[in-house]
Amino acid sequence: MATPPGKPPSTKTPSGKNTSGRGQRDLKVKVKTAKGRKLSSTRWLERQLNDPYVSRAQREGYRGRAAFKILELDDKFRFLVPGARVVDLGCAPGGWLQVAVPRVNALGEKQGKRVGTLLGVDLQEVEPIAGAEVHVLDFLADGADEQVKVWLNGQADVVMSDMAASASGHKQTDHNRIMALCEHAAYFAFDVLAPGGTFVAKVLAGGAEGELQQLLKQRFTKVVNVKPPASRADSSEKYVVATGFRDAPAVIDSDD
C-alpha cells in the first residue's frame, strides 16, 4: 500500500510493532534475558547489537570493533608507515594486524613504497592473515625478545598492544592487572625497538598509570594519552602512544 503524501513510511521493530517517522537504522535492538543467562550477559549482547562499530567491522571484514581503535590512532599519529617493522603483542583475533597490512605495505601492493613486516604473537592460535606472520608465543618468556628479533630479522619500528588481563570483577584488581601487563609490554618494547621507534598500548585510568608514564618518558621523546572515538565512552580504557624511542634512558625530573 502506498504511503500517503507527507507521512513517513512505516517500519517494524524486531517485536513486529509498527513505528512511524523513524528510519530502521535508528531502531535499537532489545534483548530479553533468557533463562539461565546473566543480566550482565544480556546487556553485553544488547550493546553489541546496537554498536555501530560492531556492524561496521562486519561490513568491512574486520575481526572485531577494536580494529577501528588502531586505525584512528594511526590516522592521528602516523606510525604504521610503508616499510615499518611492527610487532603486535596479544594479537588475537587479528583486527589490528588487518589494519596494519595495507598501511605498512606488507603485501607490496603500493608500487614504489617500501614493504613492511608484520609480526603478531599470542598465547593462542590465530587464524592466518595475508601479509602478517603470526606465532604462538608468550612474550613474557625468557628469550622471547630475541626470538622476535630473529623473526623480524632485526629490530622493530613499532610495538603495539591491545592486551587486557582476564577480568576478575574487582575494579582495582583488574586495573592493576592491565597496568602490569602494559608495563611488561613496555619493557619488551625497550628490548626490541630500534631508535626512534613507537610504542602503543592500552591502559586504564585509575591511579596506577603515573609510574608507567614516568617510565616511558625516560625512554621516549614524546608520550601522550588518547581515547580514540572507537573506544566506548563508558570504558575507562585509553591508549598511550610513545614516540621517539631512546637507546639509553633520559634523566627526567620527577615533577615533570
Residues with catalytic function: 202
Residue ranges for the binding site for S-adenosyl-L-methionine? 94, 96, 122, 138, 162
Residue ranges for the binding site? 94, 96, 122, 138, 162
- With a CB cutoff of 8 Å and minimum separation 6, the contacts of 41 are none
Q: Residue 161 forms beta bridges with which residues?
A: 89, 201
- Could you tell me which of 111, 107, 105 has the C-alpha nearest to residue 81? 105
In angstroms, the Cα distances linking 136 to 50, 88, 125, 155, 187 are 33, 12, 6, 19, 20
- Could you tell me which of 201, 195, 200, 184 has the C-alpha nearest to residue 219? 195
Q: Are 154 and 194 in contact (CB under 8 A)?
A: yes
